[in-house]
Chain A
Amino acid sequence: MNYRLEQKITRICWVVGLAALAIPFVFPFIWMLSGALKGQADVFSSASLIPQTAHWSNFSEVFAYQPFARQYFNSLYIAVLVTGLTLFLSSMAGYALARLRFAGSALVLLLLISALMMPEEVTIIPNFFLMRELGLMNTHMPLILLPLFGSQGVMATFLMRQYFLALPKELEEAGRMDGLTRFGVYFKVALPLSKPALSAVGIITFLFSWNLFLEPLVFVNDIKLFTLPLALANFTDTYGLPLWHLQLAATALAVIPMLIVYILAQRQIVESFALSGVKG
């Protein structure tokens, strides 16, 4: 009895401690929501988390201040495109590196692995001139090409290869016997078997593209072409009135859908990251 009581007290202490630790992780979201509903003057002047009057108009003003709907769409379509292309190209390359024997494959693998850790800051200046040469400045192409072929795409290739290595060979051989081509085996046998890896790579790639900041900042300057992170940063530094309330409303609009998706698909998302052990 005594022992069980002791255990119970320890448990309660743990939970209280963890809850206290959770405050700086949760409070920013709560405060963001409250600030998004406050009037321009109250964001700072009123300490209360509950706004005196809820300014729902903040949300509509966000769309009036800049083409927010379009910026939202930009982020969405770019992330979907990057994710789709990455899944296709990197799974194909990963499959070849895991399953097909060809001279030079070890060298290709070594080349790709050596790029796994390199941040985009290292190559951003030459890429700026390259994109200018190619006439792709102020378009979305750099935001698609650079994640696809930079360290993020390489990471995806590497993860897919690791997964294909562990896949049993027998099923592919059966596919070959049935007269499938190499591409057919990859597409009709190996890909359907690798759904867990594909979803992991897909989730990580989507989030990476969705949150990209340096590339949009460098390559895009037309406000209509902005992506969400850039749009959020754009509510500051307007001379005249600072638009804190709008910035918070826009931030809430950008963050809340992602949080909802995360809470719904929580297990799968967390497992994807655990599976890959990639950078954040």
Chain B
Amino acid sequence: MSAARTGPSLTLRTREAIAGWLFVSPILTGFLIFFVGPLIAVFYYSTTEWNLLSQQSRFVGMDNYVDALTANDTFWHVLGNSLVFAAGLVPLNMALALGLALALSKPMRGVVIFRTVFFAPVITSAVAWAIIWTFLLQHESGAVNQALSVVGVDGPNWLHEPNWAMASVIVTRVLKTVGLNMILYIAALQTIPRDYEEAARLEGANGWEIFRRITWPLLAPTTLVIMVITVVGSLKVFDHIYLMTGGGPQNATLVLAFYIYEQGFKFFNTGYASALAVVLFVLILALTILQMLLKAARK
């Protein structure tokens, strides 16, 4: 009797399980083939060296890593560049995004136009954006230096001087991406109840105090998410570098993602490039774990 009663419900569960697996299997299969497999393979490749003549690979253990760390300074220089890029881009991007969001989160005439304007580069392809800015930053004839010359400043050769090239790439990248962070901040600001602010105002708090004691703490979870997204985004920057500076001048803008491409597909140092990809993987994994730890610590 009881067996008859549990019987159908059991098959119901089994059928649900089968349906579940059928539903996830297309994306899961593709994911295993085109993501998980390659991820495992990149670790293996990083321990090999390729003979381009015989198309054979040879196991070399940790040689590629030892090479990267000790053979010359390029790897450290590249890693440093990536960190400088992130250290320049992330604070600038987030501060500007928060400022814009605070200015544009309240209903006011013209707000939609400004939001549209600041978000437009997000929609524009990075390639188009990089191309236009490459023109604007030309030494003699670029619009930026022509504008500067009006106020009597002799602008530098932005993309061809090591010190300025990195700054130029960072700033143009911020202009391209800041709109997204602005929108995420605006969305978060709109979830903060108005009552908090009004109550604080009644008790005599000024704008800055309200921001420090109410808005900023309530934005903390959003800030954490935006920070991780922005740091990871800055570590994978490729198209901007490829189009604006090609890693130059004198490797001043040679960052990790671009170096992987150059080593792998220009110089065919597959093993070495794979070792670099593993370094990028570890960096991003560490960031993701750090984010999860911070999230857990908040609770």
Contact = CB atoms under 8 A, between A and B. Distances in A.
Question: Real complex partners, A and B?
Answer: yes
Given A124-B264, A126-B41, A117 B288 contact: yes
Interface string B6-31: 00000001011111110110111011
Interface stretch (A58-66, A191-199, A265-273): A265-273
Q: Which of A25, A95, A128, A182 has the most CB of B within 10 A?
A: A25
A279 B183 contact: no
B125 A210 contact: yes
A115 B31 contact: yes
A244 B23 contact: no
B218 interface: no
A112 B179 CA distance: 27
Interface string A72-95: 000000000000000001101101
Interface stretch (B69-77, B196-204, B228-236): B228-236
A183 B19 contact: yes
A106 to B, nearest CB: 12
A121 B42 contact: no
Nearest to B124: A255
A250 to B, nearest CB: 9
Given A101-B17, A105-B20, A121 B27 contact: no
B37 A259 contact: no
Contacts of B265: 128, 218
B34 A127 contact: yes
B233 A273 contact: no
B158 interface: no
B30 A149 contact: yes
A135 interface: no
A259 B123 contact: yes
A100 B187 contact: no
Contacts of A233: 127, 131, 242-243
Contacts of A239: none
Interface stretch (B159-167, B209-217, B272-280): B272-280
A145 B30 contact: yes
A95 B34 contact: no
A149 B33 contact: yes
Contacts of B183: 270, 273-274
A258 B19 contact: no
Contacts of B118: 22, 25
B116 A263 contact: yes
B294 interface: no
Interface string A118-145: 1111111111111000000000000001
22 contacts: A25-B175, A28-B133, A28-B136, A32-B132, A44-B141, A95-B23, A102-B19, A122-B280, A123-B39, A125-B270, A146-B34, A182-B19, A211-B127, A228-B127, A229-B125, A248-B135, A270-B115, A273-B180, A274-B183, A279-B232, A280-B177, A280-B233
Interface of A: 11, 14-15, 18, 21-22, 24-29, 31-32, 35, 43-45, 47, 89-90, 92-93, 95-97, 100-105, 108, 111-112, 114-115, 117-130, 145-146, 148-151, 153-154, 157, 182-183, 186, 207, 210-211, 213-214, 217-218, 228-229, 232-233, 244, 247-248, 251, 254-255, 258-259, 262-263, 266, 269-270, 273-275, 277-280
Given A31-B135, A90-B27, 7 more contacts: A25-B121, A31-B132, A122-B278, A126-B37, A149-B35, A248-B135, A270-B119
